[in-house]
A = this chain, B = another copy of it.
């Protein structure tokens, strides 16, 4: 069943992996797939989006809330729980269709009694502060059961502890754990209510950073005992800062009581319905390939569970909500790898993601100024303020234990172009000009201004060049004229010109206001000149290969295998000052190939093919962002079987856990939303061959041989479509509620699809 992820039997070595694999999320928070009795040493985390804290001089990272699901069990004074106790059966599962985590374990006591528990839990979609759990127990023989359940304030932290002044309290029928973050004193409150429909003795136990209810009763043989927990999490980010200090706690208590009032069964049913609603728009059906179907749905599940539908003040971190890895920071991953999924299926969330960049523009301005530039230089690792969480020493040298100077923060200037790319994609695909009027245009102009102030002019070649950058291939730092970066800069300048034209012609007042506020008139000549004279590395006349950056072709050309043979320490970083890849042609991840994929309409088939074939054997895929790009361009250039190989790699990453766990000595495990987004892109934009430029939708299918058909939904300018692609034809159905038609081009054949109508067209994959 492709909707159920499960693991039978308990394997201690999988605790960390399963924390990622069985994760729940609702965009507000992520709850790791850990077991109820686990503590912080098993990486339990209720990871909060957009709330950060810093301890001492360690790096800032997101805050994990106290664990409201914490529950431990004893039978006749014997603790029962994993990984210590014996089990005769254990199963952990995730129903991704309903966003439901389940767990079943049967323990055997030392006296031979069998005690089984079953739990079920979910995070609220309509009320994102809510976490609910159902807990059932059955014993084979009569015994005395004590269940301690409540809120555990001892949470997993990489650079914690982040919560201080922890105050457990009882508020009528609720228990509450209030605390504040150490750096900014932001309140974090967790409240819990319990429904216990059987007779039991109840006590409350308060510890320093924990509050627990002790439920004790005599269990009868074969009798089932079930109770329900309602947990609400609120932080100072969620309420008006002018409210009273107890408002956060009050909100949590109120949400808790409201949930309890409605009851678990109803809440679970409503939640499942909301998940179903999401899937209606997001699901992709692959016929003929169960493995691909499951992996792709699982990838989509992760994207759905971390999407911030509730807020435009936060975006999706590089490891989603699976923990504090990568500082909970937002990278270019969001714009370049996750955004397309939302753009094509849920533009509202895409808008939130781009609005986050508008809100963090001032941080980008501060970063530009810090390095002596004008305009906006976005953070490589962005948190709540937009200031850069990335340091100049982002890797530890495994040979000396010293921090290693890296150039992610100060040289990866493409981040500003990525943000503009994202905003422009949003505008083009949705036609929603409000994103430009509400800050998007300002971001575009300020990023252009940054690039103008960054660029140099080479007089004897009469061209602008982009020097001293790090492109996507981070193994080669501080290079000149990185083809990807230069092209993205060009795109930004083009977008700036178009934005100015659009505003001037359609929103004259807004145009004048913005030009005045930004004092942008003096930049106009430079903007146009640089747009005209920017150097874009071109394909070589004979090989058609585009040199990744100036001098790349002079680097040592060795095989990946030979490079790996030189590795001394398995965790050594291959880039950086003395990295072994840095002096070779081996790249960390798609770089020129990514550029060709983003701008595939500007390059002929032969160039894309030649570059794919040249760079593919030289790519180490040291980043989880890489395989999907190779899948996309392979599909585009008519090689779906190669594309399929890379699609599977990107789609299964969080199922198998086969990804880098360390960069130098830094743990980088967790979920991989960019790869998840890459899986969707590879399927729909790659195999489906879908491309939308804001006017017509092109569909040029390249199904892999294993797939008999591919079915998916599209939301294009608010119009909803179902597309079914089989081996020979494409069928497009316009939903009855649609209000406008749209043009499609299937394998080059133009077709109009009226609102509520349906069109179908044959194609021959070999001719594409």
Q: Which of A334-342, A575-583, A649-657 contacts B (4 or more CB under 8 A)?
A: A575-583
The segment from A455-463, A499-507, A725-733 that touches chain B is: A455-463
**Do most interface residues of chain A lie in helix, strand or loop, or is the interface mixed?**
loop
Q: Judging by beta carbons under 8 Å apart, are B460 and A459 in contact? A: no
Within 8 A of B (CB), among A442-486: 452-453, 456-460, 465, 467-468, 478, 480
Q: Which of B457, B478, B578 contacts A458 (CB 8 A)?
A: B457
Complex Cα gap A576–B452 (Å): 31
CA A456 to CA B467, docked complex, whole Å: 10
A262 and B748 alpha carbons, distance in the complex (Å): 99
Task: Say yes or no: B468 contacts A578, CB within 8 Å.
Answer: no
- Smallest beta-carbon distance A485→chain B, Å: 16
Q: Which residues of B contact A402 (CB under 8 A)?
A: 566, 578, 580
Complex interface bits, A529-570 against B, C-beta within 8 A gives 1, otherwise 0: 000000000000000000000100000000000000010100
Q: A174 contacts the other chain (Cβ, under 8 Å)? A: no
Q: B456–A405 contact, CB under 8 A?
A: no
Asked if A397 CB lies within 8 Å of chain B CBs, one says yes
- Residues of B close to A480: CB separation below 8 A: 468
Q: Are A400 and B468 in contact (CB under 8 A)?
A: no
Is the CB of A399 closer than 8 A to any CB of chain B? yes
Which of chain B's residues has its CB closest to A566's CB? B402
CA–CA, A453 and B550, complex, Å:
15
Instruction: Tell me the residues in window 653-669 of chain A with beta carbons closer than 8 Å to chain B beta carbons.
Output: none
- A179 to chain B minimum Cβ distance, whole angstroms, is 36
Give chain B residues whose Cβ lies under 8 Å from the Cβ of A566. 402
Query: A372, A457, A526: which has the most chain B beta carbons within 10 Å?
Result: A457
- A690: interface (CB < 8 Å): no
Chain B residues contacting A514 (CB-CB under 8 Å) are none
A267 within 8 A of B: no
Kindly list chain B residues whose C-beta atoms are within 8 Å of the C-beta of A458. Answer: 456-457
* Chain A residues numbered 558-606 whose CB sits less than 8 Å from any CB in chain B: 566, 568, 576-580, 582-583
How many angstroms from the CA of A582 to the CA of B393 in the assembled complex? Answer: 12
**How many angstroms from the CA of A185 to the CA of B457 in the assembled complex?**
49
Q: How far is the CB of A528 from chain B (nearest CB, A)?
A: 13
Query: Quick one: CB contact mask for A333-367 with B, threshold 8 Å, 1 for yes?
Result: 00000000000000000000000000000000000
User: Inside 8 A of A568's CB, which chain B residues have their CB?
Assistant: 400
**A655 vs chain B, min Cβ distance (A):** 36
Q: Is A404 among interface residues, defined by CB-CB distance under 8 A? A: yes
| CA distance in complex: A468, B456 (Å) | 13
* Contact yes or no, B404 A578, CB < 8 A: yes
How far does the Cβ of A114 sit from chain B's closest Cβ, in whole Å?
A: 56
Contact across chains for A577 and B580 when beta carbons are under 8 A apart: no
Q: For residue A459, which residues in chain B have a CB less than 8 angstroms away from its CB?
A: 457, 526
- Chain B residues closer than 8 Å to A460, beta-carbon distance: 374, 452-453, 526
User: In the complex, which residues of chain B have a beta carbon less than 8 angstroms from the beta carbon of A372?
Assistant: 550
- In whole angstroms, what is the CA distance A452 to B460 when docked? 8
* Chain B residues closer than 8 Å to A468, beta-carbon distance: 467-468, 480
A404 partner residues in chain B, CB cutoff 8 A? 578
Residues of B within 8 A of A405 (CB): 578, 582-583
| With A399-B399, A400-B399, A578-B577: A456-B465 Cβ-Cβ less than 8 Å | yes
Q: 1/0 per position for A257-279, CB-CB distance to B under 8 A?
A: 00000000000000000000000
Complex Cα–Cα for A374 and B550 (A): 16
Complex: A405 Cα to B583 Cα, angstroms? 7
A577 (CB) vs chain B CBs: closest residue: B577
The reply to whether A400 and B467 contact each other, CB–CB distance below 8 Å, is no
A11 to B322 Cα, complex, angstroms:
68
Residues on B with C-beta less than 8 A from A452 are: 460
Bound: A457/B457 CA distance, A: 5
The answer for the CA separation of A374 and B461 in the assembled complex, in Å, is 12
Digit string of A274-314 for contact with B (CB within 8 Å is 1, else 0)? 00000000000000000000000000000000000000000
Q: How far is the CA of A478 from the CA of B410 in the complex (A)?
A: 14
B-chain residues with CB within 8 Å of residue A393 when the two chains form the complex: 583
Closest CB-CB distance, A380 to chain B, in whole Å?
17
Question: Across the interface, which residues of B come within 8 angstroms of A457, CB to CB?
Answer: 456-459
A374, closest chain B residue (CB): B460
Chain A 486-527: CB-based contact to B (< 8 A → 1; otherwise 0): 000000000000000000000000000000000000000010
Chain B residues near A478 (CB, 8 Å)?
478
Q: List 11 A-B contacts (CB under 8 A).
A: A392-B583, A399-B400, A400-B568, A405-B578, A405-B582, A452-B460, A456-B457, A456-B458, A459-B526, A467-B467, A468-B468
